[in-house]
Amino acid sequence: MKWIYKKASTILLAHYAHMLEYRAEIFLWALSNSLPIILMGVWVKASQNGNFGLSSVDFIRYFFSVFLTRQFTTIWVIWEFEREVVEGKLSFRLLQPIDPAWHHVARHLAEKMTRIPLIILFAGLFFLLYPDAAWFPTWKQLLLYIVAIALAFSLRFIIQYTFAMLAFWTERASAIQQFWFLFDTFLSGTVAPLEVFPATVRRIVEWTPFPYTMHFPAALLTGLEVNIGQSIAIILGWTILFAIANRWLWRKGLRQYSGMGA
Protein backbone atom coordinates (compact mmCIF):
# COMPACT_ATOMS: atom_id res chain seq x y z
CA MET A 1 0.00 0.00 0.00
CA LYS A 2 2.85 2.37 0.82
CA TRP A 3 4.50 1.92 -2.57
CA ILE A 4 1.18 2.62 -4.32
CA TYR A 5 0.83 5.91 -2.41
CA LYS A 6 4.46 6.81 -3.17
CA LYS A 7 4.10 6.18 -6.90
CA ALA A 8 0.75 7.97 -7.09
CA SER A 9 2.02 11.04 -5.26
CA THR A 10 5.19 11.13 -7.39
CA ILE A 11 3.22 11.02 -10.66
CA LEU A 12 0.73 13.61 -9.41
CA LEU A 13 3.41 16.03 -8.20
CA ALA A 14 5.35 15.65 -11.44
CA HIS A 15 2.30 16.56 -13.51
CA TYR A 16 1.42 19.38 -11.11
CA ALA A 17 4.88 20.91 -11.57
CA HIS A 18 4.41 20.63 -15.32
CA MET A 19 1.00 22.31 -15.14
CA LEU A 20 2.39 25.22 -13.15
CA GLU A 21 4.53 26.08 -16.16
CA TYR A 22 1.32 26.63 -18.14
CA ARG A 23 -0.66 28.50 -15.46
CA ALA A 24 -1.17 31.51 -17.76
CA GLU A 25 -2.65 29.23 -20.41
CA ILE A 26 -4.78 27.49 -17.78
CA PHE A 27 -6.18 30.90 -16.82
CA LEU A 28 -7.36 31.30 -20.41
CA TRP A 29 -8.83 27.79 -20.34
CA ALA A 30 -10.75 28.72 -17.21
CA LEU A 31 -12.15 31.81 -18.91
CA SER A 32 -13.13 29.75 -21.94
CA ASN A 33 -15.68 27.98 -19.73
CA SER A 34 -17.64 31.21 -19.33
CA LEU A 35 -20.66 30.04 -21.37
CA PRO A 36 -22.78 29.58 -18.19
CA ILE A 37 -22.10 33.20 -17.22
CA ILE A 38 -23.40 34.37 -20.60
CA LEU A 39 -26.47 32.15 -20.33
CA MET A 40 -27.04 33.40 -16.80
CA GLY A 41 -27.82 36.87 -18.14
CA VAL A 42 -30.23 35.41 -20.69
CA TRP A 43 -32.18 33.38 -18.13
CA VAL A 44 -32.22 36.18 -15.55
CA LYS A 45 -33.84 38.42 -18.16
CA ALA A 46 -36.27 35.67 -19.17
CA SER A 47 -37.27 35.01 -15.54
CA GLN A 48 -38.39 38.61 -15.22
CA ASN A 49 -40.96 38.13 -17.99
CA GLY A 50 -42.00 34.52 -17.46
CA ASN A 51 -42.75 31.89 -14.85
CA PHE A 52 -40.09 29.17 -14.80
CA GLY A 53 -40.35 28.15 -11.16
CA LEU A 54 -36.99 29.75 -10.41
CA SER A 55 -36.31 33.33 -9.41
CA SER A 56 -33.62 35.59 -10.86
CA VAL A 57 -31.45 34.88 -7.82
CA ASP A 58 -31.91 31.12 -8.32
CA PHE A 59 -30.75 31.39 -11.93
CA ILE A 60 -27.71 33.47 -10.95
CA ARG A 61 -26.67 30.97 -8.29
CA TYR A 62 -27.33 27.98 -10.50
CA PHE A 63 -25.32 29.17 -13.50
CA PHE A 64 -22.45 30.31 -11.32
CA SER A 65 -22.44 26.83 -9.78
CA VAL A 66 -22.38 25.36 -13.30
CA PHE A 67 -19.44 27.61 -14.09
CA LEU A 68 -17.58 26.30 -11.03
CA THR A 69 -18.52 22.70 -11.85
CA ARG A 70 -17.14 23.04 -15.38
CA GLN A 71 -13.81 24.15 -13.89
CA PHE A 72 -13.54 20.85 -12.00
CA THR A 73 -14.93 18.48 -14.63
CA THR A 74 -13.37 19.60 -17.91
CA ILE A 75 -11.82 16.57 -19.65
CA TRP A 76 -9.57 16.49 -22.73
CA VAL A 77 -8.07 12.98 -22.55
CA ILE A 78 -9.40 11.95 -25.97
CA TRP A 79 -7.23 14.50 -27.78
CA GLU A 80 -4.10 13.46 -25.88
CA PHE A 81 -4.71 9.74 -26.34
CA GLU A 82 -5.58 10.17 -30.01
CA ARG A 83 -2.29 12.00 -30.60
CA GLU A 84 -0.32 9.33 -28.71
CA VAL A 85 -1.81 6.56 -30.82
CA VAL A 86 -1.56 8.32 -34.18
CA GLU A 87 2.04 9.43 -33.56
CA GLY A 88 3.08 6.14 -31.98
CA LYS A 89 3.96 7.78 -28.64
CA LEU A 90 1.79 5.30 -26.78
CA SER A 91 4.59 2.76 -27.22
CA PHE A 92 6.68 4.55 -24.58
CA ARG A 93 3.77 4.45 -22.13
CA LEU A 94 3.33 0.74 -22.68
CA LEU A 95 6.93 0.12 -21.61
CA GLN A 96 6.19 1.48 -18.14
CA PRO A 97 4.84 -0.83 -15.38
CA ILE A 98 1.64 1.20 -15.03
CA ASP A 99 -1.51 1.56 -17.07
CA PRO A 100 -1.23 4.69 -19.26
CA ALA A 101 -4.68 5.73 -18.02
CA TRP A 102 -3.22 6.73 -14.65
CA HIS A 103 -0.91 9.25 -16.30
CA HIS A 104 -3.94 10.91 -17.85
CA VAL A 105 -5.83 10.84 -14.55
CA ALA A 106 -2.88 12.42 -12.74
CA ARG A 107 -2.50 15.06 -15.44
CA HIS A 108 -6.16 16.03 -15.17
CA LEU A 109 -6.09 16.13 -11.37
CA ALA A 110 -2.95 18.27 -11.41
CA GLU A 111 -4.60 20.70 -13.80
CA LYS A 112 -7.61 20.97 -11.47
CA MET A 113 -5.29 21.71 -8.56
CA THR A 114 -3.76 24.53 -10.59
CA ARG A 115 -7.22 26.03 -11.13
CA ILE A 116 -8.10 26.28 -7.43
CA PRO A 117 -6.63 29.80 -6.93
CA LEU A 118 -8.47 30.94 -10.06
CA ILE A 119 -11.73 29.48 -8.78
CA ILE A 120 -11.31 31.38 -5.50
CA LEU A 121 -10.71 34.55 -7.52
CA PHE A 122 -13.83 33.97 -9.62
CA ALA A 123 -15.90 33.34 -6.48
CA GLY A 124 -14.68 36.62 -4.99
CA LEU A 125 -15.62 38.52 -8.16
CA PHE A 126 -19.04 36.87 -8.14
CA PHE A 127 -19.74 38.05 -4.59
CA LEU A 128 -18.71 41.57 -5.55
CA LEU A 129 -20.78 41.73 -8.73
CA TYR A 130 -23.87 39.95 -7.37
CA PRO A 131 -24.03 40.65 -3.62
CA ASP A 132 -27.78 39.94 -3.52
CA ALA A 133 -27.24 36.45 -4.96
CA ALA A 134 -24.18 35.64 -2.85
CA TRP A 135 -24.71 32.66 -0.57
CA PHE A 136 -22.68 30.35 1.61
CA PRO A 137 -23.58 26.66 1.28
CA THR A 138 -23.94 24.63 4.44
CA TRP A 139 -21.31 22.06 5.35
CA LYS A 140 -23.67 19.32 4.21
CA GLN A 141 -24.18 20.98 0.83
CA LEU A 142 -20.45 21.54 0.43
CA LEU A 143 -19.61 17.95 1.32
CA LEU A 144 -22.25 16.58 -1.05
CA TYR A 145 -20.96 18.91 -3.76
CA ILE A 146 -17.41 17.61 -3.37
CA VAL A 147 -18.65 14.01 -3.61
CA ALA A 148 -20.77 14.92 -6.66
CA ILE A 149 -17.80 16.63 -8.32
CA ALA A 150 -15.65 13.52 -7.80
CA LEU A 151 -18.38 11.31 -9.28
CA ALA A 152 -19.00 13.71 -12.18
CA PHE A 153 -15.29 13.92 -12.95
CA SER A 154 -14.98 10.13 -12.91
CA LEU A 155 -17.99 9.68 -15.15
CA ARG A 156 -16.89 12.30 -17.69
CA PHE A 157 -13.36 10.91 -17.73
CA ILE A 158 -14.35 7.27 -18.27
CA ILE A 159 -16.85 8.24 -21.00
CA GLN A 160 -14.32 10.29 -22.93
CA TYR A 161 -11.51 7.79 -22.32
CA THR A 162 -13.75 5.05 -23.70
CA PHE A 163 -14.36 7.08 -26.85
CA ALA A 164 -10.60 7.61 -27.01
CA MET A 165 -10.10 3.85 -27.41
CA LEU A 166 -11.58 4.19 -30.90
CA ALA A 167 -8.34 5.95 -31.87
CA PHE A 168 -6.94 2.44 -32.38
CA TRP A 169 -9.20 2.17 -35.44
CA THR A 170 -9.64 5.76 -36.63
CA GLU A 171 -7.51 8.89 -36.65
CA ARG A 172 -10.52 11.08 -35.82
CA ALA A 173 -11.83 9.58 -32.59
CA SER A 174 -12.22 13.13 -31.25
CA ALA A 175 -15.01 13.70 -33.79
CA ILE A 176 -17.14 11.26 -31.80
CA GLN A 177 -16.54 13.30 -28.68
CA GLN A 178 -17.59 16.47 -30.49
CA PHE A 179 -20.84 14.79 -31.54
CA TRP A 180 -21.43 13.65 -27.95
CA PHE A 181 -20.70 17.18 -26.75
CA LEU A 182 -23.76 18.49 -28.61
CA PHE A 183 -26.07 16.32 -26.51
CA ASP A 184 -24.06 16.97 -23.36
CA THR A 185 -24.35 20.74 -23.72
CA PHE A 186 -28.15 20.72 -23.95
CA LEU A 187 -29.02 17.79 -21.67
CA SER A 188 -26.47 18.22 -18.87
CA GLY A 189 -28.02 21.42 -17.53
CA THR A 190 -25.39 23.71 -19.01
CA VAL A 191 -27.77 25.61 -21.28
CA ALA A 192 -30.79 25.45 -18.94
CA PRO A 193 -31.57 23.92 -15.52
CA LEU A 194 -33.50 20.68 -15.68
CA GLU A 195 -36.19 22.40 -13.61
CA VAL A 196 -37.36 24.29 -16.73
CA PHE A 197 -37.54 21.13 -18.88
CA PRO A 198 -40.98 19.62 -19.62
CA ALA A 199 -41.76 16.91 -17.06
CA THR A 200 -41.72 14.06 -19.60
CA VAL A 201 -38.43 15.16 -21.14
CA ARG A 202 -36.84 15.54 -17.72
CA ARG A 203 -37.88 12.04 -16.64
CA ILE A 204 -36.21 10.59 -19.76
CA VAL A 205 -33.06 12.72 -19.46
CA GLU A 206 -32.61 11.73 -15.81
CA TRP A 207 -31.85 8.14 -16.92
CA THR A 208 -29.02 9.30 -19.18
CA PRO A 209 -25.52 10.20 -17.91
CA PHE A 210 -25.75 13.83 -19.06
CA PRO A 211 -27.40 15.66 -16.11
CA TYR A 212 -25.11 14.06 -13.53
CA THR A 213 -21.97 15.69 -14.90
CA MET A 214 -23.30 19.24 -14.50
CA HIS A 215 -26.82 19.71 -13.14
CA PHE A 216 -26.50 17.31 -10.22
CA PRO A 217 -23.45 18.96 -8.58
CA ALA A 218 -24.77 22.47 -9.30
CA ALA A 219 -28.18 21.63 -7.83
CA LEU A 220 -26.59 20.27 -4.66
CA LEU A 221 -24.49 23.39 -4.21
CA THR A 222 -27.42 25.76 -4.67
CA GLY A 223 -29.93 23.74 -2.66
CA LEU A 224 -32.24 22.70 -5.51
CA GLU A 225 -34.23 19.54 -4.91
CA VAL A 226 -32.62 16.36 -6.27
CA ASN A 227 -32.93 12.66 -5.52
CA ILE A 228 -29.43 12.04 -4.16
CA GLY A 229 -29.66 8.27 -3.77
CA GLN A 230 -31.08 7.66 -7.24
CA SER A 231 -28.61 10.10 -8.81
CA ILE A 232 -25.57 8.42 -7.27
CA ALA A 233 -26.87 4.98 -8.29
CA ILE A 234 -27.31 6.12 -11.91
CA ILE A 235 -23.84 7.71 -11.96
CA LEU A 236 -22.23 4.52 -10.64
CA GLY A 237 -24.21 2.42 -13.12
CA TRP A 238 -23.06 4.44 -16.14
CA THR A 239 -19.49 4.59 -14.81
CA ILE A 240 -19.31 0.81 -14.44
CA LEU A 241 -20.88 0.29 -17.87
CA PHE A 242 -18.36 2.56 -19.61
CA ALA A 243 -15.48 1.10 -17.57
CA ILE A 244 -16.33 -2.40 -18.81
CA ALA A 245 -16.54 -1.15 -22.40
CA ASN A 246 -13.27 0.73 -21.92
CA ARG A 247 -11.33 -2.33 -20.79
CA TRP A 248 -12.78 -4.44 -23.61
CA LEU A 249 -11.85 -1.83 -26.25
CA TRP A 250 -8.40 -1.44 -24.66
CA ARG A 251 -7.60 -5.12 -25.04
CA LYS A 252 -8.96 -5.23 -28.59
CA GLY A 253 -7.19 -2.01 -29.50
CA LEU A 254 -3.76 -3.16 -28.33
CA ARG A 255 -3.97 -6.00 -30.84
CA GLN A 256 -4.68 -3.41 -33.54
CA TYR A 257 -1.98 -0.99 -32.43
CA SER A 258 1.48 -0.93 -33.99
CA GLY A 259 4.58 1.02 -32.99
CA MET A 260 3.84 3.63 -35.64
CA GLY A 261 0.18 4.25 -34.72
CA ALA A 262 -3.15 2.64 -35.54
Paired strand residues for 258: 261
First to last CA, the chain: 36
Q: pLDDT per residue over 4-24, tens digit each?
A: 666 666 665 665 565 655 565
Q: Return the domain boundaries, the chain.
A: 2-256
| Position 31 confidence tier, pLDDT thresholds 50, 70, 90 | low
pLDDT of residue 108 exceeding 60: yes
Separation in Å, CA 92 to CA 28, 89, 100, 166, 217: 30, 6, 10, 19, 37
Let me know how long the chain is.
Answer: 262
Tell me the pTM.
Answer: 0.88
| Mean pLDDT value of segment 171-197 | 89
Question: Which of 27-41, 85-99, 130-144, 147-161 has the highest mean predicted lDDT (pLDDT)?
Answer: 147-161
Nearest to 54 by CA among 141, 133, 139: 133
DSSP strands (E only) in 137-187: none
| Position 154 confidence tier, pLDDT thresholds 50, 70, 90 | very high
Q: Could you tell me if 145 and 119 are in contact, meaning their C-beta atoms sit under 8 angstroms apart?
A: no
pLDDT of residue 112 exceeding 80: yes
Which of 25 and 235 is assigned the larger pLDDT?
A: 235
Q: pLDDT per residue over 202-229, tens digit each?
A: 999 999 999 999 999 999 999 888 999 9
